[in-house]
Copies of this chain bind each other. A is one copy, B any other.
């Protein structure tokens, strides 16, 4: 099933079930008012929502209305955890190679993850406000899962069973703030502003065979200022699957229902054409494009996002229909 959170003036919005084709929606009134409530009591509430989903898809829901992604908050407008991985090692390899650094061998066994802010997410069509366009504004197209409860110390396979929902994420990053911040040694803070999520969160069964071994075997599309810059394969090159990412967090603590775990920038290896590397699938963040330029030309030539720039992130299912709806954001100056 597909779930969305619609704006109603409250902090957590109003939960709605959305038809598979994203054309219509129906409030989940009487079952749950927020998505967190569903996650808190998944086994009891989700079957009721599945019933409503079947009714909507059959065109028989009496109070269904047209679904408008612009009315969406993030599926979880705020969450108790946002833990983002860097699960596509190719991205790490490129960024490091561009600055002349090696990828430590341990990175292939031990996932790289950071704890992100989760108190204030952006809806899929909400502008991203920044005080300065000199901060190196970048999009990062990612997949993310929402978990149920996962106890401390579980295996990656057990952790995978706790995946309740999948979403797309735009993990906006301020690249020019990163070097100084990471040099301090405690990870990201100011360089990771509010993250945006797709209009709907979907249960894994919506992906059919494309959901395999904790990976999504589909193409993630990124369109920057109307130009398609990324058609990246999210499946085979994901070094760590979502179960491994969740298990990494669980090593020393419990992970509680409603935790969001991100894949990191989806990234594909180059192919060799006439003895030279090319990246025909493009990129899911500008930093990677700039790393490629640095490797090829000695310096980056693509600039980061400016005020007025737009980014669209979408993924289509095996039938060619949009799975999660699209993230469509504009970069705008912070007012006041």
Contacts and interface: CB of A to CB of B under 8 A. Distances in A.
Contacts of A300: none
Given A78-B80, A79-B80, A256 B119 contact: yes
A194 interface: yes
Nearest to A129: B152
A308 interface: no
Chain A's interface: helix, strand, loop or mixed, by majority? loop
A257 B119 CA distance: 8
A176 to B, nearest CB: 11
Contacts of A184: 104, 106-107, 110, 112
A185 interface: yes
A177 B254 contact: no
Contacts of A174: 252
Contact of A153 (B80, B117, B131, B255): B131
Interface in A108-146: 110, 112-120, 129-131, 135
A249 interface: yes
A254 B120 CA distance: 7
Contacts of A107: 184
A44 interface: no
Contacts of A194: 253-254
A334 interface: yes
Given A186-B187, A187-B186, A189-B249, A117 B115 contact: yes
A60 interface: no
B115 A116 contact: yes
B152 A248 contact: no
A271 interface: no
Contact of A252 (B81, B130, B153): B130
Contacts of A78: 80, 256
Interface in A171-201: 174, 177, 180, 182, 184-194
A21 to B, nearest CB: 33
A50 interface: no
A251 interface: yes
A153 B333 CA distance: 12
A248 B40 contact: no
A114 B153 contact: no
B190 A188 contact: no
Contacts of A180: 106
A190 B248 contact: yes
8 contacts: A11-B40, A80-B119, A114-B187, A114-B189, A115-B189, A120-B256, A131-B152, A193-B253
- Top 4 nearest A-B pairs (CB, nearest first) are A187-B187, A80-B119, A114-B186, A119-B256
